[in-house]
Structure 1
């Protein structure tokens, strides 16, 4: 839900730090990768 709605325009994303606590042991671009999903959904926007 952070990747849409009012958050995309109102949150100062430059002040955020993201730490991974639960990552699957798969390559970053693998369909099961939590990193890939977060990057594709909102970190790359």
Structure 2
């Protein structure tokens, strides 16, 4: 998975989610208010 959108408060309210995504190689590239955000993987080969 090269990108992940966190849109639901169900997932956005998980306190450890940002740290876990960063540990998996993702960077928050956009925020849309509240807990909604877009995360993209540093290195991604979708094949």
Q: Given the two structures, how large is their TM-score scaled by the length of structure 2?
A: 0.30
Name whichever structure is richer in strand by fraction.
2
Task: Judging by fraction of residues, say which structure has more helix.
Answer: 1
Structure of larger gyration radius = 1
